[in-house]
Structure 1
Amino acid sequence: MKAYSIALREKIVAAHIQEKISIRQVAIRFAVSKSLVQKLVKQQQVEGNLQPLQRGKPQFSHLTNAEVELRELVVENQDATLVELCELFALKTGNWVSRTAMCRALQKLGLNRKKKHCGVVKQQL
């Protein structure tokens, strides 16, 4: 569900504070929950604004600032699979990462994981 607009949030808080209407009556008037009205009033008093909070957790990866370590691992272990690179990274830094995270990090760095073939050409009969 999308966040309520700032204009609506301001009307809700203004109705409670300026018009001195109870929280329950404000909730009924604007067809919102009582807890939303309480939350908005408290947010206005504490933070001084009614901006909606960011949704979800911030994403963190041990690979974010590990560009140098990743490049070293790939150069030292050119034939390593993603799983092997994850294990080597864990041994080197002490932080385990998933195969998917390793793949994304290598793609961002432009490191190609495809093996180069020897150049063996099949002869046509």
Structure 2
Amino acid sequence: MPAALSVDLRQRIMAAYEAKEGSQRQLAERFKVSLSFIRDLRRHHRETGTVQPKPHGGGAVAKLGKEQLPIVEALVTAQPDALLEELCERFARATGVEVSVSTMQRTVCKLKLSVKKNTDCL
């Protein structure tokens, strides 16, 4: 997602609108922003009295936090040749939290561990 437009640009747009320097559509073309941005900016200014962008809403919460990293590390250490799917299943049994293979892969990489299938058994 792109960064919020600068407060300076927002102030110039609102000043131009209040000075009736053009319609919303003309201002959108002039300032190279979308018409919906002009509408949303006007609504935001009307409701809050400011043109400051809204704070970032955050993001998705990770299923595996710092508390679970030692569990994953113990699972990999106990059986370093386990497949990622097997690690996911064992992690779910140990914690009750189901994670995807890609989440497990990112966690293993974060811990700087290696998961390799043992080919000596074949």
Q: TM-score, normalised by structure 1?
A: 0.67
In 1, Cα distance between equivalents of 2:60 and 2:4: 24
* Percent identity (aligned): 30
* Deviation sequence 1:37-77 (CA, Å, 0-9, x none): 2211233342734337659x724321232211111212233
Q: After TM superposition, what 4+ stretches of structure 1 lie above 2 angstroms from structure 2? A: 1-5, 32-35, 41-55, 75-79, 114-118
Distance apart, 1:36 and its partner CA: 1.8
Q: TM-score, normalised by structure 2?
A: 0.69
User: Bigger radius of gyration, 1 or 2?
Assistant: 1
Matching residue's letter, 1:109 = L
What SS is found at the alignment partner of 1:48? coil
* Deviation sequence 1:12-35 (CA, Å, 0-9, x none): 112234x2x39x713323415443
Report what 2:99 is aligned to.
Answer: 97
Question: Relative to 1, partners in 2 of residues 1:72 and 1:3: Cα closer, same or farther, differing over 3 Å?
Answer: closer
Given that 1:10 and 1:50 are in contact with CA atoms closer than 8 Å, whether structure 2 keeps it comes out as: no
In 1, Cα distance between equivalents of 2:62 and 2:116: 24
In 1, Cα distance between equivalents of 2:89 and 2:4: 45
Higher relative contact order (CA 8 A, sep 6+): 2
Given that 1:62 and 1:97 are in contact with CA atoms closer than 8 Å, whether structure 2 keeps it comes out as: yes
Given that 2:85 and 2:101 are in contact with CA atoms closer than 8 Å, whether structure 1 keeps it comes out as: yes
In 2, Cα distance between equivalents of 1:93 and 1:48: 46
Structure 1: runs of 5+ lacking an equivalent: 119-125
In 2, Cα distance between equivalents of 1:64 and 1:88: 17
In 2, Cα distance between equivalents of 1:33 and 1:80: 52
Task: Confirm or deny that 1:107 pairs with 2:109.
Answer: yes
Matching residue's letter, 2:77 = V
Question: Relative to 1, partners in 2 of residues 1:79 and 1:116: Cα closer, same or farther, differing over 3 Å?
Answer: closer
Matching residue's letter, 1:70 = V
Deviates more, 1:31-40 or 1:96-105: 31-40
Report what 1:51 is aligned to.
Answer: 53
Question: Relative to 1, partners in 2 of residues 1:105 and 1:42: Cα closer, same or farther, differing over 3 Å?
Answer: same
In 2, Cα distance between equivalents of 1:60 and 1:78: 28
What SS is found at the alignment partner of 1:91? helix
Structure 2: runs of 5+ lacking an equivalent: none
Aligned length: 114
